[in-house]
Amino acid sequence: MNTFIKSNLLVSIIIILCQTCFAQSDSTETHQYITARYHKGIVIPHHSSMLYLLEDYVSGFEISYGRSKFKSDSWEKYFNYPEIGLGFYYGTFGNKEVYGHGMALFPYINYKMARTPKFSLQNKVSMGLGYASEPFDLQSNPYNLVSGSHFHVYVGFALLADYRINKQFSLALSGAVNHLSNGATQKPNHGINTVSASLGLKYHFNPALTPITEKIKAPKSKMKEFIAVASVGTSQAEMGNPKIYWNSSLSLNHIWHLNARRGIGLGLDGLYMPIASYIWRPYEEYKEGSEIANAEKWALGTFLAYHVYLNKTTLVMNLGTYLYSGVKPPEPLYSRLGVRYNINDHLVANFSVKASFFKSEFLEFGIGYRIKYGN
**CATH number, residue 139:** 2.40.160.20
| Residue 320, pLDDT above cutoff 60 | yes
The mean pLDDT value of the chain amounts to 87
Is 209 among the domain residues? no
> Could you tell me if 313 and 17 are in contact, meaning their C-beta atoms sit under 8 angstroms apart?
yes
Confidence at residue 354, expressed as pLDDT on a 0 to 100 scale: 92
Q: What is the pLDDT of residues 112-152, one digit of tens each?
A: 999 899 999 999 999 999 999 988 887 888 888 888 888 89
Instruction: Supply the pLDDT for residue 29.
Output: 79
Whether pLDDT at 4 is above 60: no
pLDDT, tens only, 6-36: 444 454 555 445 554 544 444 557 899 999 9
Same domain for 263 and 179: no
8 Å CB contact between 335 and 191? no
Residues 192 and 238 in one domain: no
Both 43 and 189 in one domain: the answer is yes
Whether the per-residue pLDDT at 87 is higher than 80: the answer is yes
In a domain, 32, yes or no: yes
List C-alpha distances in Å: 146 to 30, 50, 205, 363. Answer: 42, 8, 41, 17
Banded pLDDT at 286 (limits 50, 70, 90): low
Average pLDDT over residues 99-108: 94
Q: CATH number of the domain at 342, please.
A: 2.40.128
Show which of 171, 204, 237 is a domain's final residue: 204
Does residue 332 have a pLDDT over 50?
A: yes
Cβ contact 3:9 at 8 Å: no
Residue type, 352: S
Q: How far apart are the first and last CA of the chain?
A: 45
Note whether residue 210 is domain-resident: no
Is residue 191 located within the same domain as residue 238?
no
pLDDT at 352 > cutoff 90: yes
- Burial string for 24-47 (b: 16+ CB within 10 Å, else e) reads eeeeeebbbbebebebebebbeee
pLDDT band at 105 (very low <50, low <70, confident <90, very high): very high
- pLDDT-based confidence at 5, cuts 50/70/90? very low
Query: What is the average pLDDT across 173-199?
Result: 89
The pLDDT confidence band at residue 268, using thresholds 50, 70 and 90, is very high
pTM here is 0.83
Burial class (CB in 10 A: 0-12, 13-18, 19+), 135: buried
Tell me if 216 is assigned to some domain.
no
Number of structural domains in the chain: 2
- Count of C-beta atoms within a 10 Å radius of residue 259: 14
Residues 50 and 129 in one domain: yes
In this structure, the answer to whether residues 159 and 33 fall within a common structural domain is: yes
CA separation for the pair 281, 329 (Å, rounded): 8
* Statement to judge: residues 162 and 250 lie in one domain: no
pLDDT computed for residue 282 by the predictor? 63
Q: Does the N-terminal peptide bond of residue 188 adopt cis geometry, omega within 30 degrees of 0?
A: yes
Question: Does 237 share its domain with 99?
Answer: no
> What range defines the domain where residue 369 resides?
224-373
Window from 127-131, 215-219, 347-351, 367-371 with minimum mean pLDDT: 215-219
Cross-strand pairs, 127: 155
Both 111 and 162 in one domain: the answer is yes
